[in-house]
Amino acid sequence: MDDLDVTLIELFHAEPRVGALEASRRLGVARGTVTARLERLERSGVISGWGPTLDPSALGHPVTAFLTLEIRQGAGHDTVGDHLATIPEVLEAHTITGPGDMLARVVARSNADLQTVIDRALDHPGIVRSSTVIALATQVPYRVTPLLRSSV
Partner DNA sequence: CCTCCGACTGTGCAATCTGCTCGATGTGTC
Partner DNA sequence: GACACATCGAGCAGATTGCACAGTCGGAGG
Binding site for DNA (CB under 7 A): 4, 17, 19-22, 28-33, 35-37
The torsion angle over the Cα atoms of residues 17, 21, 22 and 27, rounded to 10 degrees, is 120
Min dist CB 34 to DNA, Å, is: 7
Among 28, 55, 73, 112, contact with a copy of itself (rule: CB under 8 A): 55
Reduced to 3 states (helix: H, G, I; strand: E, B; else coil), residue 78 is helix
Measured distance CA(133)–CA(65) in Å, rounded: 6
Among 34, 63, 67, 107, contact with a copy of itself (rule: CB under 8 A): 107
Measured distance CA(111)–CA(134) in Å, rounded: 9
For residues 57 to 86, the per-residue mask of contacts with a copy of itself, x marking binding by CB under 8 A and - elsewhere, is xxxxx--x-x----------xx-xxx-xx-
Measured distance CA(87)–CA(61) in Å, rounded: 14
Reduced to 3 states (helix: H, G, I; strand: E, B; else coil), residue 95 is strand
Amino acid at 86: T
Q: Which is nearer to DNA, 29 or 75 (CB)?
A: 29
148 binds a copy of itself (CB under 8 A): yes
Among 44, 110, 115, 116, contact with a copy of itself (rule: CB under 8 A): 44
Q: Which is nearer to a copy of itself, 74 or 146 (CB)?
A: 146
Measured distance CA(85)–CA(134) in Å, rounded: 20
112 binds a copy of itself (CB under 8 A): no
Measured distance CA(53)–CA(5) in Å, rounded: 21
Binding window for a copy of itself (CB under 8 A); candidates: 27-35, 53-61, 122-130: 53-61
